[in-house]
Chain A
Amino acid sequence: MPVTRGERSARALFAAVLHLYPASYRDEYGREMTLVLIDRLRAEHTAVARASVFLGAMAAVVADGPKQHAIVLAQDLRLALRLIWRERWFATVAIGTVAIGIGLSTAVFSVGKSMLVDALPYREAERATMVWVTNPRQGRDRDVTSYPRLLAWREHSQLIDMFASYAFRRAVVTGTGDPEQLIVVRATPEFFGVVQTEPVAGRLFAANEEQAAVVVLGYSLWQRKFGGNASAVGQVLRLDSVPHTIIGVLPQSFQFPARDLDAWVPLQPSAEERSSGAFWLETVGRLSPGVSLAQAQQEMTAIAARLGAERPNDRELGVALVGLRDEIARPFRAALIMLTAAVVGVLLIACVNVAGMLTARGAARRREVAIRTALGASRRRVVRQLLTEAVILFAFGGVLGVTLGSVLLRLVVGVAPPTLSWLRDVSLDGPMLAVALGMAALTGVLFGVLPSWKAAGADVVEVVASGVKGAGRGGLSQGFRRALIVSQIAIATIVASAASLSLTSLVHAQRVDLGFEPGHVLTARVELPRTKYPEAAARQRFFDRLLERVRAVPGVTGAAAGSVVVGRSSSSGFSIEGRKETIQQPLTFDSITPDFFRVLQVPLLRGRFFSDRDRADTQPVAIINETTAKTHWPNEDPLGKRFKFGEPDDDARWRTVVGIVADTRRAGVDRPVRTESYQPFTQDSRSMTVLIRTAGEPAAIAPALRAVVRELDPDQPLARVAPLEESIDIQTAARRFNTWLLGAFGAAAIALTAIGLYSLLAYLVALRRHEMAVRLAIGGSPYHVLRLIVRHVACVVGIGMSLGLAGALTAAQSMRSLLFGIEPWDPLSQMATIALLGAVAVAAAWIPARRAMRVDPAMVLRME
């Protein structure tokens, strides 16, 4: 019967709809269905009937297509699960590898991201920039500024809309519950215009509020003092006895310029502060709309040059703009880069591992695939089956990975130092999870399916005839697998080496000689409000009486006070009598009571300690540390020499060096020793940290100390009451945290590599059973076989480690700032890495090697 035009269109349309079926189904029945349809159409006599039959047939295909897909999928799933169960060891290792890769990387990335990105809940934060003064002569790239300089910037800059400056101060709050010592930010009224946020209650500073006695509460102070009640707005808060009206409350997420701040008050510069050239203000600016940081930087550099021309003393001062995000991330950057690199490394190893395993398996299954294709399964059908298997493996791995990630995240948060307490709120990062899952899935598809796709197109006779031996040639080559394992070992070496360097640094940092004895010492900070204790004499009297009464407490063997015990001391450039040049290298100056060094047990090298005879009206004196003596008086005796802070012709008084003490690591256990000086408290009275040496547990003295302070002044709070050892511990907390994380990565990297190496060797041994059987059959010794394997392992591991070590040394250069007491090429750390990886390689090779040596030639050859 001739084919009509209508039939031809019907055929074409129906053929198109048939694409709703799985390809295999369409190939099998599509043509038959079309024939049946045409027959039915021909049987009808009217156009309406034909149309009705045709549309009915089309609709039925639309309804049936998805059903057939579901049937095929169910079959694939069943078969896949059966095959996975048959190879449960393979599946367990593959799933575990994927889970470790996904879990580790997602957990750590989430922590990193919350530090870097999520810490900026400010509106248009990308327009906010820190404005630092650079002072190359003093080696400072981020210095504060003076009030006159701030005014000059405001006057000259076109590209920065708004400048806000701020400074920190401590203040005692009284009248609302127990007296408490707060950290308060004094900020110019523009502050909240630059770092924009929405108050949770009330309002923020108004433009004209420079002189007003108002305060904006931080979230935690609001919770602490007012139970989070909105009626706090309008109430009065007494800061250092001065009443301030509460105008608003900041959200919990607001943590600028630092974390754990209590209150923000308008900055009211005193007449002295207004005119003083002293640098004391941190500044943040808001770029005009559409202005880039680089443009603003150019303008500010020009302004700095102009100011330098007007004031020759400021000739060398420049300006550095640092975006707010970079500024906040800065302290963590080195550690984070290191960790992120480690994460990527581990994820790569995991993927490479799975790739290797799938490749080996694909090769082993080459025969099966070729036979199935020859028996009539379409290539697409076979690949679909393999794809289903890969997807199931990775779905299991993914689910397990997410679970592992959440557990790890909790663990990480658990070991995080108290300074990172806000990590509590971190949750797994969605996009990173997607990337990790995507990477794993891509690996699965690439390496799980492609080799079989090739196999499905191969000549079945050749594949089957080549037997097991031929499996090695299937899919991706052995050379490729070897390259995979080499790269894996290289990455593991880099990660393990970083972990090892970090651990060695930590050990060094914890073993470092502090130069003082922190055990059995209790410290507590006492800030005397200037409003209540304006006179130096009153402050001295307070501390004299405090120390005297504390010494009388049973169990106390000594008591002293110092402006800073551990941490950052104030410092300044200084001049030595008789020398023209001012020394720019900053010298610290701390105020101490006479017993300070005795309580800390710092040895006196020469001269004397301070005594009661050093008073405000006697000759100004100073004690310096050994480093200062060696640096600034290298060939002479500093005792009796005089120096002063600032320029030689400043009106500060000359101080005479009366003692030299041994160096200490007060600035930080893993920081270099600074050039330090000390002055008697009587000649420089400031807020102090009290130091109490005890016979027993230092914390046990705390209640007695509180009672003494209450007796002297019921409104005076004590802050940071803690054993000195705890404060020192906190200094290494971040380092311990990093080391812990890197260590976890190192362990994961090594474990994954061991698995990868083992599976490669097991596979190679399986491939070469025939060869080994022949060797043994013709009288070869099992040790010959062993030598074969050892040579292989040595080659792969040798190349991998060499590449890895080269990479590790490069990586170590970039983690230099995280190292302490060692160089990046620290032989001990690197040797430890090599030894560990070597041992792991031997362990991984052991089982396959034993299996190879025990090959029974008769059995193997019979099977062939």
Chain B
Amino acid sequence: MARLRREGPEPDDFLPLPRDTFDVLVSVADRDRHGYAILQDIAERTGGRIRLSPSTLYAVIKRLLESELIEELSERPDPAHDDERRRYYRLTPLGRRVAESEAARLTRLLADARASGLVPRRR
């Protein structure tokens, strides 16, 4: 878990992110979503390879809330699908910076792998 410093945490403090955590951050990066919407988004993006169980999802959400990388919304952003009981989550500015840092880190890793010929060329 993130260590809180007096002057506030730096994005690098959170890296590297566990896979599930990164997936959830990516999911709420473009819009606010509720729990099931996050699951659906991850499943779609990974072609159904990753289907989080509810308990894994909420363990991640709890951790992200506590480290203030996401926040819970008080208003309902999607009146059409509104459900009184659903909770919606949104990326915080810190969360966005953390996700960006992780993405940059992964990009660097991929570039390194490519440079050493580990990644097959696209046909």
A-side residues, CB < 8 A to B, are: 25, 28-29, 31-37, 39-40, 43, 53, 56-57, 59-61, 63-64, 67-68
Contacts and interface: CB of A to CB of B under 8 A. Distances in A.
Interface residues of B, number: 18
Interface string B21-43: 00000000000000110011000
B56 interface: yes
B58 A29 contact: yes
Contacts of B58: 29, 32-33
Given A32-B35, A32-B87, A40-B36, A25 B62 contact: yes
B57 to A, nearest CB: 7
Contacts of B62: 25, 28-29
Contact of B54 (A28, A37, A63, A67): A37
A858 B83 CA distance: 57
B86 A35 contact: yes
A859 to B, nearest CB: 30
Given A33-B35, A59-B53, 14 more contacts: A32-B54, A32-B86, A33-B54, A35-B83, A35-B86, A36-B36, A36-B39, A37-B54, A40-B36, A43-B40, A57-B55, A60-B54, A60-B55, A64-B56
Tell me what chain B mostly uses at the interface: helix, strand, loop, or mixed: helix
A37 B53 CA distance: 8
Interface string B79-95: 00001011100000000
B36 to A, nearest CB: 4
B70 interface: no
Given A29-B61, A68-B59, A35 B36 contact: yes
A251 to B, nearest CB: 60
Contacts of A35: 35-36, 83, 85-86
Contact of A33 (B51, B55, B83): B55
Nearest to A65: B55
Tell me what chain A mostly uses at the interface: helix, strand, loop, or mixed: helix
A71 to B, nearest CB: 8
Nearest to A68: B59
Nearest to B65: A28
A35 B56 CA distance: 14
Q: Which 7 A-B pairs have the closest CB atoms?
A: A60-B53, A33-B54, A39-B36, A29-B58, A60-B55, A36-B54, A64-B55
Nearest to B36: A39
A41 to B, nearest CB: 11
Contacts of A36: 35-36, 39, 54, 57
Nearest to B52: A60
Interface of B: 35-36, 39-40, 51, 53-59, 61-62, 83, 85-87
A460 B62 CA distance: 27
B31 to A, nearest CB: 18
A56 B52 CA distance: 10
B35 A64 contact: no
A40 B86 CA distance: 15
Contacts of A53: 51
Nearest to B35: A36
B54 to A, nearest CB: 4
Nearest to B83: A35
A79 B58 CA distance: 24
Contacts of B87: 32
A818 to B, nearest CB: 62
Contacts of A56: 53
Nearest to A25: B62
A597 B83 CA distance: 110
Contact of A67 (B53, B57, B59): B59
Contacts of B85: 31, 35
A550 B9 CA distance: 95
A35 B38 CA distance: 13
Contacts of A37: 54
Contacts of A31: 85
A28 B51 CA distance: 22
A776 B30 CA distance: 66
A268 B61 CA distance: 91
A775 to B, nearest CB: 43
Contacts of A61: 53-55
Contacts of B35: 32-33, 35-36
A464 to B, nearest CB: 25
A801 B57 CA distance: 64
Contacts of A60: 53-56
A28 B58 CA distance: 10
Determine which residue in A25, A36, A67 has the highest number of CB atoms from chain B within 10 A of its CB, and name it.
Answer: A36
B115 to A, nearest CB: 38
17 contacts: A25-B62, A29-B58, A29-B61, A31-B85, A32-B35, A32-B86, A33-B35, A33-B57, A35-B85, A36-B35, A37-B54, A40-B39, A40-B51, A56-B53, A57-B53, A60-B55, A64-B59
A28 B35 CA distance: 13
A59 B55 CA distance: 9
A57 B39 CA distance: 13
Nearest to A21: B55
A16 to B, nearest CB: 14
B119 to A, nearest CB: 32
Contacts of A59: 53
Contacts of B61: 29
A376 to B, nearest CB: 13
A51 to B, nearest CB: 14
A56 B51 CA distance: 10
A59 B57 CA distance: 14
A61 B53 CA distance: 8
Contacts of A43: 40
Nearest to A42: B36
Determine which residue in B36, B57, B62, B87 has the highest number of CB atoms from chain A within 10 A of its CB, and name it.
Answer: B36
Contacts of A67: 59
Nearest to A63: B55
A67 B56 CA distance: 11
A35 B54 CA distance: 9
Contacts of B55: 33, 57, 60-61, 63-64
